Structures are given as structure tokens and as C-alpha cells.
């Protein structure tokens, strides 16, 4: 069985892919380290809406944007990552000025696989295959998409009997064959590139599906929910949908105890821990350690150093009999009063233990540490009332002294 499809770039900006007679569509996404096809997403969404199979390709060493294999792989994944979660096959388009640098191509292919969990296709034409030795790429099991147009005469419709040319170095031949750039397909008036894929829909989807590549993540990562972990070093906190860890929301200091409720995975299969707030943290055992008791730390006296840190926050939670003692003052709207609360987690909703303190101080219990709350805390503890928690605060130091006696400070 074979499938028939097209590959397009910005040259076909006016195409409505939904109208095309095609089993699959492969779209140029990026080039080099700086080019993004402005019509890629439009065409991608049209194809997806029409139920067509998909691929996205990167043009290596695009003129004016040449980079290293790592730089170009990073650029491609950054811009195409939302397509590479089971929807599309990534492809390296290998026909630019560096086409003799086989190691560059192999490095790009491996880097994209490392970041996405998908083994990319390798596209080039027969003259390049005949000029250089690509055995290393064939041995790496990257599928070949090869181009050879022959006479390339104007034609209409697909050649359902297109036979791939000789593929030097690739003993298994080509997975896909681009046999014309001069064919008119129903749905578009101008001639375009056409291709035949030697497989069915199941085979195509297998190429597009991320895989851990047989890697046993459990050796280095928690692959099931540990329930509660302690940070072994400072770790980042990321939004619920940021599985690639691109934009850090905040940092949890060493020693912070964090409640977890599940596992998510990055594109390459790497596990992430889902916190009780729905955010993500590392599941790497070098960074977090499973603990059994929510009161595991701190024990004994806390440092009376004036720093509103996770140990101080946890002791507050313990003293005020909170069910969750994770050392985090959650749901804080950042302001001048609380910007030096090292245990703060920025967001909305407020902290349960702060709400309890506000109630005892006769304040509106919104759970946020603002100037009015800080002034009331300072007044209760007999320190200067400026409404600001400084990096080493006299009010916090007085609070720590109270906490070390086992008494509620407010």
C-alpha cells in the first residue's frame, strides 16, 4: 500500500490545504537559525482539520541564517515543538552549501530526536547521495525521503506507480519519494512537489509518535507519583503546560518540601512532577528526594536569621496546624511588601496559613502578604511598622523566636 501527498513552503502561501487531494502534507517550518515560514501554522491547521497526515521540515544552513547543528536543531524544536507531539514527522532538508558535512546532519538528527523523542526523516536528492557517504545516517535508522525528478515534465495527478531511484548507502531504500516538482493536483492551479510514501497511515503515525527510545527513565527519575518530595538543591517551578521547562515561574530553595499529585512527560518522554498546585517541577532524583512524612523537615529549632524562608514557612504551617506543611507560602501576588519572602510562590488565591494569621489579626483574610498584613504583624511583634518584609527582617526574626518556643506568634 502507498499514500500520495505534497510538500509545500511559503511559495504556496495562497493554498488552502483543505481543498487538496492529498493523503499527507509536509510543510516547511524553519530554516537555519532565523527563518520561520509565516504560513506554516495556517497550512498545518488546515491539514489537521482536513484529517491529513503531517510532516514539518527544517531547511539546513539557510542562507543568512547558518548555524551549528545544535543551534539549528534548537531553533527548529523551539518553533515546531507543538507539532511534534504525535501529529507530525520532523524532517531535515539536506541540500544547502554544507551538504557534504555528514556529521552535521547526523548531529542535527540526533539532537532533534533527543529533544522530541521522534526520529526525524532525512531528505535529500540522489546527486547528493551519490556524492557523499551517508552510511552513518542510514545506520542510525533515520528514514530516507529522496528526490529525483527525471525529465520533470508537466503532469496532472499522482503517479501511483512511482518507483524510487537507487539510494546509495541506504540498504532499506526510501520511505518516501519526491518524484516531481511540476505536477498539478486538484485543489491548486499551479504545479507543486508531489510524493509517494511506501506505507499506510499506521506506518506514518508510527514515524510521528514520540518514544523514549527504550530509555529506562526510572533509573534517574521518579516515574510514578512520589506524593511528597524534598528539594535537594534549588529547583525551578514551571506552569502546568510548560513540560519542556522553558519559562520558569519561580524557584524552590534547597530543603523545601513539596506535595506532588501526578506525573507529566516532556516531548522526549522525560518525567515531570505535578505539584499540588498543578505546576511542574523536576522528577530528577539528583534534584528531589521522596520523603514519607509531611513533617519530615524542619526538626528542632529554626534559624533566627530574619529570613522568611521555607523552614520558617513550614514551622508556621506546623504551629497553625495546617494539613499541608510544604514550606511554601502559595498564591502570592508579588508586591513591595512580600518580594523578600523567599518561601513565596507567586500566583493568585492566597495562602491558607496567611489567611489564618490575618483572621487572628482582625484583617480581611485574602491570604496575600500585603503592606496592611505586614504592618499588623510588625505591630503585634513590637517591631518598626513600615509594611515591608526586608531580606533580613526584624519582624521575621521576632516571629522565628516565637515559633522556636512552640507558640503562635500572632
User: Are 101 and 233 found together in one domain?
Assistant: no
Q: How high is the pLDDT of residue 9?
A: 96
The answer for residues whose C-beta is within 8 angstroms of residue 339's C-beta and 6 or more apart is: none
Q: What is the mean pLDDT of residues 354-370?
A: 95
pLDDT at 4 over 60: yes
User: Are 237 and 204 found together in one domain?
Assistant: no
Domain end, chosen from 208, 236, 265, is at 208
User: Are 145 and 228 found together in one domain?
Assistant: no
Distance CA 181, CA 50 (A): 23
User: Are 130 and 251 found together in one domain?
Assistant: no
Distance CA 35, CA 63 (A): 10
Do strands 88-93 and 121-125 pair parallel, antiparallel, or not at all (unpaired)?
Answer: parallel
Does residue 126 lie within any of the structural domains? Answer: yes
Does residue 272 lie within any of the structural domains? Answer: yes
Domain end, chosen from 208, 225, 244, is at 208
pLDDT tens, residue by residue, 301-359? 888 999 999 889 999 988 887 777 888 999 999 999 999 999 999 888 899 999 999 99
User: Are 163 and 226 found together in one domain?
Assistant: no
User: Are 203 and 222 found together in one domain?
Assistant: no
- The pLDDT-based confidence of 294 (bands split at 50, 70, 90) is very low
Does residue 180 lie within any of the structural domains? Answer: yes
In Å, what is the CA distance from 130 to each residue of 92, 103, 137, 166, 320? 18, 17, 14, 9, 75
Does residue 300 lie within any of the structural domains? Answer: no
% pLDDT > 90, the chain: 72
Does residue 301 lie within any of the structural domains? Answer: no
Contact predicate 60/94, CB 8 Å? yes
What string of DSSP letters covers 137-151?
A: HHHTTPPEEEE--TT
pTM above 0.85, yes or no: no
Name the least confident of 92-106, 195-209, 308-322, 392-406: 308-322
Residue 180: give its domain's CATH number: 3.20.20.80
pLDDT tens, residue by residue, 193-240? 999 999 999 999 999 988 754 456 777 888 888 888 888 888 999 999
Contact predicate 272/283, CB 8 Å? yes
Domain that holds residue 370: 310-404
Residue 233: give its domain's CATH number: 2.30.30
Domains held by the chain: number: 3
- The pLDDT-based confidence of 298 (bands split at 50, 70, 90) is very low
Q: What is the mean pLDDT of residues 257-269?
A: 84
- The pLDDT-based confidence of 296 (bands split at 50, 70, 90) is very low
Does residue 230 lie within any of the structural domains? Answer: yes
Q: How high is the pLDDT of residue 216?
A: 63
User: Are 40 and 168 found together in one domain?
Assistant: yes
Domain end, chosen from 154, 188, 208, is at 208
pLDDT at 272 over 60: yes
Amino acid at each position: 500500500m502507498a499514500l500520495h501527498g505534497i510538500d509545500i513552503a511559503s511559495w504556496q502561501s495562497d493554498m488552502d490545504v483543505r481543498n487538496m487531494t492529498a493523503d499527507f502534507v509536509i510543510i516547511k517550518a524553519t530554516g537555519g537559525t532565523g527563518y520561520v515560514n509565516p504560513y506554516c501554522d495556517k497550512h498545518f491547521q488546515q491539514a489537521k482539520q482536513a484529517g491529513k497526515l503531517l510532516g514539518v521540515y527544517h531547511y539546513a544552513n539557510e542562507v543568512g541564517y547558518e548555524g551549528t547543528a545544535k543551534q539549528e536543531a534548537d531553533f527548529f524544536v523551539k518553533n515546531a515543538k507543538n507539532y511534534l507531539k504525535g501529529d507530525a514527522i520532523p524532517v531535515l532538508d539536506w541540500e544547502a552549501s554544507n551538504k557534504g558535512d555528514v556529521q552535521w546532519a547526523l548531529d542535527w538528527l540526533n539532537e532533534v530526536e533527543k529533544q522530541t523523542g521522534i526520529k526525524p526523516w532525512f531528505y535529500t536528492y540522489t546527486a547528493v547521495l551519490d556524492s557523499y557517504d551517508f552510511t552513518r545516517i542510514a545506520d542510525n535508522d533515520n528514514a530516507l525521503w529522496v528526490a529525483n525528478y527525471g525529465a520533470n515534465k508537466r503532469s496532472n495527478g499522482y503517479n501511483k506507480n512511482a518507483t524510487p531511484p537507487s539510494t546509495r548507502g541506504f540498504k532499506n531504500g526510501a520511505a518516501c519519494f519526491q518524484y516531481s516538482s511540476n505536477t498539478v493536483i486538484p485543489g491548486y492551479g499551479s504545479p507543486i512537489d508531489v510524493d509517494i510514501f511506501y506505507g499506510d497511515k499506521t506506518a506514518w503515525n508510527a514515524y510521528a509518535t514520540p518514544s523514549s527510545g527504550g530509555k529506562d527513565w526510572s533509573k534517574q527519575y521518579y516515574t510514578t507519583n512520589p506524593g511528597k518530595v524534598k528539594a535537594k538543591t534549588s529547583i525551578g517551578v514551571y506552569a502546568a503546560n510548560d513540560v519542556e521547562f522553558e519559562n520558569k515561574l519561580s524557584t524552590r530553595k534547597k530543603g523545601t518540601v513539596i506535595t506532588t499529585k501526578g506525573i507529566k512527560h516532556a516531548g522526549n518522554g522525560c518525567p515531570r512532577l505535578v505539584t499540588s498546585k498543578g505546576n511542574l517541577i523536576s522528577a530528577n532524583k539528583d534534584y528531589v528526594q521522596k520523603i514519607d512524612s509531611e513533617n519530615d523537615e524542619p526538626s528542632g529549632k529554626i534559624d533566627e536569621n530574619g529570613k522568611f524562608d521555607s523552614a520558617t514557612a513550614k514551622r508556621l504551617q506546623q504551629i497553625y496546624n495546617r494539613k499541608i506543611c510544604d514550606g511554601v507560602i502559595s498564591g502570592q501576588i508579588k508586591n513591595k511588601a512580600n518580594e523578600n519572602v523567599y518561601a513565596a510562590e507567586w500566583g493568585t488565591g492566597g495562602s491558607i496559613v496567611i489567611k489564618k494569621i490575618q483572621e487572628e489579626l482582625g484583617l480581611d483574610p485574602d491570604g496575600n502578604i500585603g503592606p496592611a498584613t505586614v504592618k499588623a504583624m510588625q505591630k503585634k511583634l513590637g517591631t518598626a511598622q513600615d509594611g515591608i518584609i526586608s531580606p533580613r527582617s526584624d519582624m521575621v526574626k521576632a516571629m522565628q523566636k516565637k515559633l522556636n518556643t512552640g507558640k503562635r506568634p500572632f
